[in-house]
Structure formats: C-alpha cells, structure tokens
Structure 1
Amino acid sequence: MPVEVDAQTRHCTLIGDHIRLEGTGPEVEIVTDEQLRMSVAILAGERIPITEAEADALTVAGAVDSRRHLKTTAPSSII
C-alpha cells in the first residue's frame, strides 16, 4: 500500500517506487489524473498514484481534495 496514515497525528507517508514522502494531511493534495484515470496524491511536488480508498483516508487526515469526476457524457472526457 503506497499510503500510510496516522489518524491521531494526521501524519501521512506516501510510498512510491523509489521515493518515500512524509508530511501532514493538510500538506497533501489529491487530484484526478485524466491520463491514468485515477487519483494522485501530491506532496512536496511529487506525484504518487493512489486508490480511491487511500484518497479517502488522506482526506480524513486533512488532505486537500481537488479530485474531479470524469464522465463519459462530457464532450472533453477521455473516458
């Protein structure tokens, strides 16, 4: 699992292939990556792909939720 969250301290760890980032929940931003078709957590300028369950855990810790839903009916949607 690339995300570890301590709900009491709001400390978050994002784990990528060759990187381990640590910070508090409010330092993390969650965005939608249209090309990957999944959520990505951003901390210290680094992007780590995450599951929706991990995104939800990060938002509970105070992460900024900037996700947007991709829709097949939107003309500009890649889906």
Structure 2
Amino acid sequence: MTVMGAAPPGYAGTTSALFNTTRQVGSATGVALGGTLLATAGDYGEGLRTSMAVGALAYLTAAVLAWRCVPPKSHGA
C-alpha cells in the first residue's frame, strides 16, 4: 500500500484509520451520486450512461492524481 508505505512508523494506526475512512466516504459518495444520476435521468439507459461516464471520469482522475503525486520507488540500496 502506497499510503501506508509513505507514513512514518509512529503514525501507522492513524494513517490506516484515515485511509479507511476516506475509502468508505468515497465509496458511499460514489454510490449515492451514481444512484442519483440514475434516478433523475429521463430514462434508464440515459441515466446508466451518465452514471457510468461520471464513474469513468472519477477513475481517470484518480489514476492521473496517483501517477502525478506518488513518488517513484528507488531501486537498490
């Protein structure tokens, strides 16, 4: 895990708690947003396409952020 590897050893418990909390909040928010988009669309197909497009954009954004923000591992010691 990148998050746990980047934290100092003394903060392992706090880091784990913060990571799991943000993961749970993100999951709940994603489900709520997807359900809202699906329910408020004119028809089911349109709502499903919109919901999937927003989800794909969120995954793409997360991938770009991870690529840009996570430092590369150093090989060798």
Question: What is the TM-score of this pair, normalised by structure 2?
Answer: 0.20
By relative contact order (CA 8 Å, sep 6+), the higher-ranking structure is 1
Structure (1/2) with the larger helix percentage: 2
Question: What is the TM-score of this pair, normalised by structure 1?
Answer: 0.20
Which structure would you say has the larger Rg?
Answer: 2
